[in-house]
Amino acid sequence: MELDDLKKDWEYINSCNSDRNTLTPEIIDQMTEKKYNTEINKIKYAELSGILVCFTAVIFIGFNFNRLDTIIFQSTGVLTIIILAAIPVSSFLSLRKLNSRHNFNRPHIDMIQQFMNNKILFHQYQKTNALLCYFLLVGTTLLLPKIFYDKDVTSYKTFWTFAFAFGYIFLFVFSKWVTKFYSNSINQAERLIKEIRETKTSL
């Protein structure tokens, strides 16, 4: 199919719509007033639950910090708290960047470039979060037996070996999936940005 054939099809599609008179002044008026009262959407709910879980864990570790009696446990506790705080902050920042107000008046090529840059940044945040989860797994594996039973991880060797191994495998598969899921999209975005840059330098 040539571009001209495609053009004919497009003209046909539009001719089907030529009698369409859908928008009344009332509907247009409603549309300009619309929504954003449901600003908290599905993704934000997921992010908010994540933030809640992380901060509950921070409070839990904080309240039980006196049980961490050695410098190793205390350092692990501090690091775990930092990671637990960093994950939701990172998610929040990436979401804010993605949902930031766009200037739709600008030339289309600039919009695509900004959009692709945001996309890459968002994916990088996701990858960083997956990496931080590895450290979190080590931290929680060390801290939980100490906080709950005042024992170190060596006291329940079998249980914690399995728990750690299972957690590690899960994270490994999950992070592989995250990387695979995003890498194709990132490559496409990078190719497009390169193409746009080349176009702009030839202007």
Binding interface with another protein (CB under 8 A): 1-3, 6-7, 9-10, 12-14, 16-23, 25, 27-32, 34-39, 41-44, 98, 102-112, 115-116, 119, 188, 191-192, 195-196, 199-200, 202-203
**Minimum separation from the CB atom of position 94 to another protein (A):** 13
DSSP-based helix, strand, coil % in the chain, nearest 5: 80, 0, 20
**Minimum separation from the CB atom of position 53 to another protein (A):** 21
Between 106 and 151, whose beta carbon lies closer to another protein?
A: 106
Other C-beta atoms closer than 10 Å to the C-beta of 128 total: 14
**Minimum separation from the CB atom of position 89 to another protein (A):** 21
Determine whether 80 is exposed, middle or buried from the number of CB atoms within 10 Å of its CB (0-12, 13-18, 19+). Answer: buried
Between 66 and 103, whose beta carbon lies closer to another protein?
A: 103
Between 27 and 173, whose beta carbon lies closer to another protein?
A: 27
Between 20 and 180, whose beta carbon lies closer to another protein?
A: 20
Between 96 and 107, whose beta carbon lies closer to another protein?
A: 107
**Minimum separation from the CB atom of position 47 to another protein (A):** 11
| Residue 5 token pair | 């054939």
List Cβ neighbours of 77 (8 Å cut-off, separation of 6 or more): 61, 65, 68, 139, 143
Rounded Cα distance between 81 and 141, Å, is 14
CA distances from residue 139 to 29, 68, 112 in whole angstroms, order as listed: 54, 12, 41
**Minimum separation from the CB atom of position 55 to another protein (A):** 23
Nearest to 60 by CA among 138, 160, 147, 134: 147
